[in-house]
A and B are shown apart, each in its own frame.
Chain A
């Protein structure tokens, strides 16, 4: 037990600092009533920067819509796609968005299952992020389609011609998996929100009250409701985790079941899942910092929680790096000469900048997370988390484009293919769309789970009480607040 006494030079006060075993996830001043007050306030009065973000997103989205309409009218040709380069940014960004969604599930489902309580203040927006990224990804399925107006052919519906989708196509698996994932995540998000919606209902006025009243469905917080709720929530969490794993595995089969060099890789499913979690986690860090500031969630989105999040991100980044490197290694030491040539092309060819950019952003940059300064400086951390995601986007880009550029068939190789402004516009629009939806969500629904933070507070209190009952509080040094300052 260390016991140190410092003197404050200016104020000439003696600060007696106790050994602090571990900072709590939440401050001691967080009470149940404060939680209600803070979170409900976020629905009404965010910082003005909220509107800046919202309208910028709206503007980006509008530009994306313009590009899409232009493409719809004139054909996919405006995207400068061509015979080997049939997919371009659309599929790359599609995977990016699908991937982004996975960490929400990781936080809300897996950490729930293993009772990692630090997830509680941040899982709600992560789960919302999952839902909205899936919605954004689903947009790309449509944007990418040559005949958007016939999109319903992909859906299995009975018709007089007895035609069905082709169930052997990974794209149909995709559609099914994403449909399942979107439905399940949305229900999971909604289900977990019901007690909070009841809180909103109990405090709102006017139209909002009607909305919350409708959505909370008459939740009263009775013990029977809670008991059922807990079982149901746990069951769904148990479904969601393998679902998330299957979804990105299936997305990886879009590539892995094909013949193309660089795609026909056995390790693709875990590689994709990890990549998804990785980009999702850094996305969560980004949103953590943004929400914390915009909605004044400083009391809930605390440094200890962020630290845990960063640790998790770093660990996932390392596993992903490992999987990426074994993918290269198996190709390098394998006997598939075409795949090997493709790998060399990725690293040295027309898209070498993107390749090394990915290596730098997604493999090297995570190491900055080990620096304490980075973890504690939110501006720097925000930038780094964005860089990580740029890296992950580049990773998707360089899965698709170089493979098309240098496939089995030399005659149709392309050199330096580059997407047109329409593609970039739609990709930018998708970011606008996501941000817009997400910000709107945070403005309308509680983006911090009130009841679960209350549980956290409750458990912290219980813990303290139990400890306090055992030993002398002062001796054990378990009270984190500073004492003194009165002398």
Chain B
């Protein structure tokens, strides 16, 4: 059975991804644009993620040990180099919402010994908690360090009764020893895609949003279906001249803001960031 499968599908089994036009025939490819000029660093997205995805509150001691579980975190930088260029941050701080980049060629995927993390047909980097044995190789290999490991049995302490009533029934509560990370609110996508499928259509643009995108007060996060050329996210990718299948983007002119973080590592992320704009003459 598997042998004939192997022979029949040999060509597709031997294809490297991403390639140009990979999602042309696919119904979905989830992607995001984060406008760093709009992001104000207010933490609405991070709290929304805690609420939606049953992220445990770990407490001061464990946070201090670096065992926090924030799938999306707001990073605040004071500059691009390695020191302050002036005495004060004259042009403000640099905020960066960092979450799983849902890389098309995710470094975390090939190294998992049990295949607990792999790529879904709609372009998500999935994490199968049940399959995870906790080798943490994915995290070691993730250049963005956005994978979070259950160092403890967080559910023991994170939701003292009745806080556990808030837990989202659509999202697993993870036990100790498994890796977890941003899923692009997989449960919302799943429900939406299933609903659309029963109705014989594909999801409309904006019909399903991730919790962070939905909460973001400045709408800095745009989420959508890249396979749908008319979706806002696809138009933004095109407008910003970012090609999913390229590891360096050629821009037709200066001043086009779209870029992907650590793209030079050939990870082909699904999140495009738009450069923060500052009136440097002010």
Contact = CB atoms under 8 A, between A and B. Distances in A.
Q: How large is the interface on A (under 10, 10 to 19, 20 to 34, 35 or more residues)?
A: 35 or more
A166 B115 contact: yes
Nearest to A74: B152
Contact of B111 (A151, A171, A407): A171
Query: Which residue, A81, A166, A258, has most C-beta atoms of chain B within 10 A?
Result: A166
A404 B140 contact: yes
Interface string B142-170: 01110111111100000000000000000
Given A76-B151, A166-B114, A83 B134 contact: no
Interface in B18-75: 62, 65-68, 73, 75
A234 B90 CA distance: 74
Nearest to A80: B65
Contacts of B134: 76, 145-147
B141 A145 contact: no
Contact of B176 (A75, A409, A412): A75
A475 B152 CA distance: 79
B186 to A, nearest CB: 19
A260 B144 CA distance: 11
Interface in A374-406: 404
A3 to B, nearest CB: 68
B135 interface: yes
13 contacts: A82-B66, A82-B67, A87-B140, A145-B134, A166-B110, A171-B111, A171-B135, A172-B113, A259-B143, A260-B140, A260-B141, A409-B145, A411-B73
A76 B114 contact: no
A276 B99 CA distance: 39
Given A86-B136, A87-B140, A146-B135, A259 B65 contact: no
B139 interface: yes
A431 to B, nearest CB: 23
B98 interface: yes
B152 A75 contact: yes
A258 B145 contact: no
B153 A169 contact: no
B66 A83 contact: yes
Interface in A58-102: 74-77, 80-87
Given A87-B136, A404-B140, A146 B113 contact: no
Contacts of B66: 82-85, 414, 417
Given A87-B140, A145-B133, A147-B132, A168 B110 contact: yes
A154 interface: yes
Contacts of B145: 83-84, 407, 409, 411-412
Contact of A164 (B112, B115, B132, B139): B115
A163 B62 CA distance: 35
Interface in A132-169: 144-148, 150-151, 153-154, 162-166, 168-169
A169 B136 contact: no
B148 A83 contact: yes
Nearest to B175: A147
Interface of A: 74-77, 80-87, 144-148, 150-151, 153-154, 162-166, 168-172, 175, 254, 257-260, 404, 407-412, 414, 417
B113 A175 contact: yes
Contact of B67 (A83, A144, A175): A83
B134 to A, nearest CB: 2
Contacts of A151: 133
B107 A259 contact: yes
A175 B137 CA distance: 14
Contacts of B135: 144-146, 171
Q: How large is the interface on B (under 10, 10 to 19, 20 to 34, 35 or more residues)?
A: 35 or more
Contact of B140 (A165, A168, A175, A258): A258
Q: Is the interface of A mostly helix, strand, loop or mixed?
A: loop
B178 interface: yes
Nearest to A403: B140
A258 B145 CA distance: 13
Contacts of A411: 73, 75, 77, 96, 98, 145
A75 B75 contact: no
Given A83-B149, A171-B137, A408-B143, A76 B113 contact: no
Contacts of A171: 111, 113, 135, 137
Given A76-B177, A80-B65, A409-B143, A169 B149 contact: no
A165 B116 CA distance: 9
A144 B113 CA distance: 13
A87 B134 CA distance: 11
Given A74-B176, A76-B152, 14 more contacts: A75-B176, A75-B177, A76-B149, A82-B66, A84-B145, A85-B66, A86-B139, A154-B113, A163-B114, A166-B112, A257-B111, A409-B144, A409-B145, A412-B145
A76 B133 contact: no
Given A145-B134, A164-B115, A81 B107 contact: no
Given A83-B66, A84-B66, A166-B115, A77 B152 contact: yes
B115 A165 contact: yes
Interface string B103-123: 000010011111100100000
B131 interface: yes
Contacts of A409: 143-145, 262
Contacts of A172: 113
A171 B133 CA distance: 12
Contacts of A408: 143-144, 262, 265
A83 B145 CA distance: 7
A158 to B, nearest CB: 10
A103 to B, nearest CB: 28
A250 to B, nearest CB: 13
Contacts of A86: 136, 139-140, 149
A148 B135 CA distance: 9
Contacts of B114: 153-154, 163, 165-166, 169
Given A75-B150, A77-B65, A411-B98, A150 B111 contact: no
B144 A146 contact: no
Contact of A147 (B73, B133, B140, B141): B133
A327 B178 CA distance: 34
B265 to A, nearest CB: 5
Contacts of A412: 145
A68 to B, nearest CB: 14
A166 B265 contact: no
